[in-house]
């Protein structure tokens, strides 16, 4: 059996940390699909264009190369907003879809916002990782503080709330839990507890311990 684990959810819910740990524990490849959109957003900004410009965003998506994923400027408020804007462009999503499906074809853990609903709807296990807005905002704020990026907690929460609204309302693959996804609320869970619960769900679904 080719094991494919799809992990979706809003920003700062803990899905990336969980996905990386599950991939390591299960010996699977890992792809943070959000980085693909961050790369596209950055490429658009590098070109001096607006991330909301569909033509510029599609051009950037087609120019993406694997080494772009190692860029060091893919995190932070500017990158967050740019990635969310380019992700609304259907042509961008189409350009990146084949890459993601090819990556998943040999077994992998992928995290993002439309993995279980669009990218690999036949994934072996689907998780939708979420948490209260206030908890997610504090996590992102602490992350930014740790990287020396100045931002107020209120600003971070407002940006996350705006991004949630855009992701849920976009016409192309809106953020939502797949019908057969297991919802994992991490509001009161630390990374270890979230990993333990996530691994338990995977093991129960695929029948191994």
Average pLDDT along the chain:
93
Low-confidence ranges of the chain (pLDDT < 70): 208-209
31 forms beta bridges with 110
pLDDT digits (tens, 9 = 90+) for 166-190: 888 888 788 999 999 999 999 999 9
* Confidence at residue 129, expressed as pLDDT on a 0 to 100 scale: 98
Query: What is the reported pTM?
Result: 0.85
CB 17 within 8 A of CB 111: no
Q: What is the residue extent of each domain of the chain?
A: 4-204
Would you give the DSSP letter of residue 66?
A: G
Q: Is the CATH code 3.40.50.300 the one for domain 4-204?
A: yes
* Confidence at residue 160, expressed as pLDDT on a 0 to 100 scale: 95
* Confidence at residue 208, expressed as pLDDT on a 0 to 100 scale: 63
- Structure tokens of 126? 């689907």
């Amino acid at each position: 059996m080719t094991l494919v684990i799809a992990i979706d959810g809003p920003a700062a819910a803990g899905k990336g940390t969980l996905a990386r740990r599950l991939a390591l524990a299960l010996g699977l490849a890992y792809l943070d699909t959000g980085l693909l959109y961050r790369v596209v957003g950055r490429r658009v900004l590098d070109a001096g264009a607006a991330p909301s410009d569909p033509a510029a965003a599609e051009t950037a998506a087609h120019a993406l190369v694997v080494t772009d994923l190692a860029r060091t400027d893919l995190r932070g408020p500017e990158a967050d907003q740019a990635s969310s804007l380019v992700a609304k462009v259907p042509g961008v999503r189409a350009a990146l879809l084949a890459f993601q499906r090819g990556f998943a074809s040999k077994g992998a853990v992928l995290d993002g916002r439309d993995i279980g609903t669009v990218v690999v709807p036949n994934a072996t296990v689907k998780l939708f990782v979420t948490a209260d807005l206030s908890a997610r905002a504090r996590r992102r704020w602490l992350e930014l503080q740790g990287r020396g990026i100045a931002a107020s907690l209120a600003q971070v929460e407002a940006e996350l709330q705006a991004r949630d609204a855009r992701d849920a309302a976009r016409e192309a693959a809106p953020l939502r839990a797949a019908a057969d996804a297991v919802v994992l609320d991490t509001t009161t869970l630390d990374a270890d507890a979230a990993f333990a619960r996530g691994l338990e769900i995977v093991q129960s679904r695929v029948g191994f311990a």
